[in-house]
Structure 1
Amino acid sequence: MPKIRPYTPEDRDRLVEIWHQASRVGHPFLSAQDLSEQKVLVRDIYLPKAENWVATDAGEAVGFIGLLDCFVGGLFVHPSAHGRGVGRALIEHAAEVKGQLEVEVYALNVGALEFYQRLGFIQTGIRNSDDQGRPLQLVRLTRPHRE
């Protein structure tokens, strides 16, 4: 089971690498240029603005979750750690800290949609373009607070 700890600035480069590797797997519909542009945003804007929690295995960061209040701005697990409960542990930790959780997922990222649904998230909306204006549908999901 991974250990979860708060983010420190020293984690930045490793988390950007985790984001990049996980995005290549989960978002194959994004071009290399799209990922390159997003990488700068992740490093310079998203990580500094979010409340980040890092999952470690044997002391090495293998995944992270970035929270904006109760909104999951990002959940990324290095592909080498997929299927080992890292994502689930991060979601459960975030739920303990925040209660209700919300997230938006690319509709084309079927694996992520199924992951969130297995963890009790329900679809609450759809938008037809992403934050960069690309015509990629985003599904909004909510997981109610559990007592």
Structure 2
Amino acid sequence: MIELTRAGADDAPALARIHLAARAAAGDAFPPAVHPDEDYLPHLLADVLPHAEVRLARLDGETAGFLVLEGDLLADLYVAPPAQGRGVGTALLGHAKRLRPSGLRLWVFVSNAPARAFYALHGFVVAGRTDGDNDEGAPDLLLRWPAPS
């Protein structure tokens, strides 16, 4: 069973573990991180949790994934590698759609084919692209849901 709750500061270490494990497991789908791994937890505590909507997914009682919403921007959606393919990402994304029925946007790296396929399956369409106008300097795509008319 997947349970979704609002994340708080006490959840930050679990969120950081999920983020780092998911990026590591994705291999070349992500460009190299710009910041050291040990900077992610302080970033969550200082910059993300106090200012964004963060939802946590638990699968059978275990922390399994999270999302970060900043207005209509789905800033992050990560699922722990052992929980991938078990509906956690779909549950989180469905929750984000219910929270933002007027629409969502997100950025995904061109190199992240699994994420691009996941979002396409859930109705997101390409609405823009860059050649690397981001911290990582890697090409990315702006995706939107629902599709612009």
Establish whether TM, by shorter chain, passes 0.5. Answer: yes
Q: Which amino acid aligns with 2:78?
A: F
Question: Compared with structure 1, are the counterparts of its residues 86 and 116 closer, same or farther at alpha carbon in structure 2 (3 Å cutoff)?
Answer: same
Counterpart pick for 1:69 among 68, 71, 74: 71
Distance 1:139 1:11, change over 3 A: same
Distance change >3 Å, CA 68–CA 61, structure 1 → 2: same
Q: Name the counterpart of 1:122.
A: 125
Give the Å deviation of 1:21: 0.4
2:108 is matched with which residue?
105
Amino acid in structure 2 at the alignment position of 1:113: R
Shift in Å, 1:127 = 1.3
Residues 123 and 145 in structure 2, CA contact (< 8 A), matched pair in contact too: yes
The 10-residue stretch of structure 1 (18-27 or 92-101) with the greater mean CA deviation from structure 2: 18-27
Change (3 A) 1:56 1:130: farther
How many residue pairs were aligned? 144
Q: TM-score under structure 1 normalisation? A: 0.87
Match of 1:46 in 2: 48
Mapped partners of 1:115, 1:138: distance in 2: 15
**1:62-95 residue CA offsets vs partner (Å, 9 max, x unmatched):** 0001000111000000000000010010010111
Counterpart Cα distance in 2 of 1:27 and 1:69? 29
Give ranges in structure 1 of 5+ residues lacking alignment: none
* 2:28 is equivalent to residue 25 of structure 1: no
Return closer, same or farther for 1:85/1:130 CA change in 2, 3 Å cut-off: farther
Tell me by how many angstroms 1:56 deviates.
Answer: 0.4
Q: In the alignment, is the contact (CA less than 8 A) between 2:65 and 2:79 conserved in 1?
A: yes
Could you tell me which runs of 5 or more consecutive residues in structure 2 were left unpaired when the two chains were aligned: none
The root-mean-square deviation of aligned C-alpha atoms, in Å, is 2.1
